Structure 1
Amino acid sequence: MKVMFYATFREIIGRRKVEVHGVRTVRELIDYLAEHYTPEIKKQLLGTPRVGPDKPIDGMVLVNGHNVFHLKGLDTELSEEDVVHIFPPAGGG
């Protein structure tokens, strides 16, 4: 699958996009990225104080244009043909 990174996540990973194979869920994808690129991506997505029962991911993960928050969250299933977009949390005010 293709995984695209935006803003600070692009800087953390050091690439605009990567190809990933063999992961079955968003949770496995995040673990894979942490293991093969940098643990910082997992820390930023799952380890901030803003993550909790009502917000499983700090940022936005889209699978084929659909926000995983509206699917199965971290348990959203992935296939080799998917395109995943990973965005950091939006700031502003």
Structure 2
Amino acid sequence: MRVKFYATFRELMGTKEVEVHGVKTVRELIEYLAEHYSPEIRKQLLETERVAEGKPVDGMILVNGHNVLHLKGLDTELEEDDEVHIFPPAGGG
């Protein structure tokens, strides 16, 4: 599957896009990215004070254009031909 990173996550990962194979869920994808690219991505997506029940990630993850918050969260299933977009949290007012 193709995984694209935006803003600070692009800098953190050192690339704007990677190909990943063999992961079955969004949770597995995050663990794969942390292990093979940067452990910091797990911390920034899953381990901040803004992560809570009903908001399993700090930022936004889209699978084929659909926010995982409206799917199965971290348990959203992934297929080899999916396209995943990972955005850091946005601020503003």
Q: TM-score range by the shorter chain?
A: over 0.9
Corresponding residue SS for 1:77: coil
User: Where does structure 1 lack aligned partners over 5 or more consecutive residues?
Assistant: none
Q: Percent of counterpart pairs with the same letter?
A: 76
Letter aligned with residue 11 of structure 1: E
**Post-superposition shift, 1:92?**
0.4
User: Where does structure 2 lack aligned partners over 5 or more consecutive residues?
Assistant: none
- CA distance in structure 2 between the partners assigned to 1:47 and 1:11 by the alignment: 19
Root mean square deviation, CA, Å:
0.4
Figure out how many residues of one structure are paired with residues of the other and give that number.
93
Q: Deviations over 1:50-71 (max 9, x none)?
A: 0011210000000000000000
Per the normalisation by structure 2, the TM-score is 0.99
Residue pairs, 1:13-92, within 5 angstroms: 13-92=13-92
**Post-superposition shift, 1:84?**
0.1
Letter aligned with residue 57 of structure 1: V
**Post-superposition shift, 1:37?**
0.2
Per the normalisation by structure 1, the TM-score is 0.99
- CA distance in structure 1 between the partners assigned to 2:46 and 2:38 by the alignment: 14
